[in-house]
Amino acid sequence: MKPFTYERASDAKAAVQAAVETPGARFIAGGTNLLDLMKLEIEQPQHLIDVGRLPMATIEDTADGGLRIGAMASNTKVAADARVRSRYRVLSQAIVSGASGQLRNKASTGGNLLQRTRCPYFYDTSKPCNKRQPGAGCAALEGHIRESAILGASRACIAVHPSDMAVALVALDASVETLTPSGETRSFPLMELHRLPGETPHLETHLIPGELITAVVLPPLPEGGQQYRKARDRASYATAHASVAVVGGRIALGGLAHKPWRAADAEAALASGATAEEAMGVELKDATLRDENAFKVPLATRLVAATLREAAQ
């Protein structure tokens, strides 16, 4: 690890202030992804601002019947919350299908959203990667990689977002609350948090530098069934080749794109009477396929069909 300085933030405003004023500063909460990358020197922060103990770990009911999840609530805490399990079961299902028990105990809600791709070429510092070094090129394009994106990919990056939790949150139409560098609170749909890679895959979210995620807010209990399904190489502790969250008429896909993917075209097709297979045909009509990831088309299609059936039961 490269040397860095460390401070424990006293409150959220001070944390944001320090992030703006200190060159090379990064927030650290659980640290399970950031420290992994710091050991490989893929991440090289000069200063860490520990926000892990800020009083933002509570899960509370909102006035309109939704739920406000503090950004520092651990993945385990969210998955185990009785209100989440009874009203937003898709979120609990998604969380416990990701990582390991040890990691879920440490990882925070905000950090889960901001975790970085597990693309093996991002991790391999002997290979060029536009995420690690803008303009360096993408070794994955010429490499062997089954876990690459089929939706929204670019010539600069074919990495996928690894979060399961975020896929369920998109299907739940959750929003993100943040504290901006100017000290204001802002709120926006979680679906608008992550970017597609385009020519700048090193920019992964629309957060302003120094902006801190303070909470994730779930709208009131949605109508219709909920279900999360994930397909992967191992029965446990592996990222998704494809995953699906269904919440009523909404569908979100994981493992297929640089961000959790709201399948709006498939939703519209289903609403006008299409079968799941037909709807996914519409959703994936512009998919960019490579020899090694083409399996994701039938996989995602069948997974959506199965998940819709289960959600309707």
Partner 1 sequence: MRTTITVNGEARSLDLDPRTTLLDFLREKVALTGTKKGCDHGQCGACTVLVNGVRINACLSLAVMHDGDEVTTIEGLGAPEALHPMQQAFLTHDAFQCGYCTPGQICSAVGVLAEIKADIPSHAGDVGAQARLTADEVRERMSGNICRCSAYPQIVDAILDAAGNLP
Does residue 31 bind partner 1 (CB under 8 A)? Answer: yes
Q: Should residue 83 be labelled a site residue for partner 1 when binding is judged by CB under 8 A? A: no
Q: Which residues of 171-183 are buried (b: 16+ CB within 10 A; e: fewer)?
A: bbbbbbbbbeeee
3 binds partner 1 (CB under 8 A): yes
User: Which of residues 34 and 145 has its CB atom nearest to partner 1 in the complex?
Assistant: 34
Binding of partner 1 by 72 (CB under 8 A): no
Nearer CB in complex with partner 1: 99/149: 99
DSSP code of 192? G
Give the closest residue to 249 by CA, choosing from 262, 260, 235, 258: 262
**Residue 5 contacts partner 1 per CB under 8 A:** yes
**What is the full DSSP assignment across 249-297?**
TEEEEESSBSS-EE-HHHHHHHHTT--HHHHHHHHTTT----TTTTTHH
**Which of 14, 20, 42, 103: binder of partner 1 (CB under 8 A)?**
103
Q: Binders of partner 1: how many residues, by CB under 8 A? A: 36
**How many C-beta neighbours within 10 Å does residue 132 have?**
21
For partner 1, which residue of 14, 20, 80, 297 counts as binding (CB under 8 A)?
80
CB of 70 to partner 1, least distance (A): 17
Three-state DSSP class for residue 104: helix
Per CB under 8 A, the list member of 9, 25, 28, 212 interacting with partner 1 is: 28
Q: Which is nearer to partner 1, 150 or 218 (CB)?
A: 218
Q: Examine residue 302 and tell whether it contacts partner 1 (CB under 8 A).
A: no
Tokens of 93: 């299902």
Take residue 2 and report the two structure tokens written for it: 């490269």
Among 36, 124, 173, 278, binds partner 1 (CB under 8 A): 36
Measured distance CA(33)–CA(38) in Å, rounded: 9
Q: What is the DSSP letter of 190?
A: G
Residue 70 · residue 151 · CB < 8 Å: no
Our CB check for partner 1 shows the closer of 36 and 265 to be 36
Residue in 122, 134, 110 with CA at minimum distance from that of residue 37 = 122
CA nearest neighbour of 260 among 270, 250, 252? 252
Question: In degrees to the nearest 10, what's the CA dihedral of 100, 11, 208, 181?
Answer: 180
Answer for which of 236, 271, 277, 312 binds partner 1 (CB under 8 A) is: 236
Q: How many Cβ atoms sit within 10 Å of the Cβ of residue 237?
A: 12
Binding span for partner 1 by CB under 8 A among 79-87, 249-257, 271-279, 286-294: 79-87
d(CA 159, CA 259): 9
Of residues 9, 43, 92, 216, which one binds partner 1 by CB under 8 A? 92
Separation between Cα atoms, residue 152 and residue 11, nearest integer Å:
38
**Residue in 17, 22, 44, 105 binding partner 1, rule: CB under 8 A:** 105
If binding is defined by CB under 8 A, does position 26 make contact with partner 1?
Answer: no
Q: In the numeric block, which tokens belong to residue 94? A: 């998604």
- 45: which strand partners? none
237 lies in the binding site for partner 1 (CB under 8 A): yes
Q: Which of 64-72, 91-99, 124-132, 176-184 is the region at the interface with partner 1 (rule: CB under 8 A)?
A: 91-99
Sole window of 25-33, 143-151, 243-251, 255-263 interacting with partner 1 (rule: CB under 8 A):
25-33
Asked if 188 interacts with partner 1 (CB under 8 A), we say: no
Binding site for partner 1 (CB under 8 A): 1, 3-6, 8, 28, 31-32, 35-36, 39, 48, 50, 52, 76, 79-80, 85-86, 89, 92-93, 96-97, 99-103, 105-106, 234-237
